[in-house]
Amino acid sequence: MQVLEVQTIEKEIVPTLSFHGEKLFKQHPEIRQQLEQATRLGNGYHTKVSIYFHDDEGLKRVETTIWATGANYICLKGGVWIPISRIQEIKF
């Protein structure tokens, strides 16, 4: 079993990342429920969550609030977007 190293980044770095290539990884089976719960916590209580996601370089982790969840992207505070297809898991 391969263990991937996680790089922790600040949310301000996310807009500089590339999401062009196709990444194959196992997404948490309840990712939509995780995103909806994290969005409610972010809007109602300004609760931060850890978002584990893959950019074209590898696995990243950012700790922040999720302000909105759309069909294909999540929006973080400050208008930063991450494609849902690249999110592996949310940890509360």
* pLDDT over 80 (residue 4): no
Is residue 52 within 8 Å of residue 88, measured between CB atoms?
Answer: yes
Q: For residue 4, give the DSSP letter.
A: P
What average pLDDT does the structure give for the chain?
Answer: 94
* Dist. CA 16–CA 70, nearest whole Å: 21
What is the structure's pLDDT at 18? 97
Q: What is the mean pLDDT of residues 40-55?
A: 97
Is residue 42 within 8 Å of residue 66, measured between CB atoms?
Answer: yes
What is the structure's pLDDT at 77? 86
Give the pLDDT band of residue 3 (cuts 50, 70, 90): low
Is residue 75 within 8 Å of residue 65, measured between CB atoms?
Answer: no
Q: What is the CATH number of domain 7-91?
A: 2.30.30.100
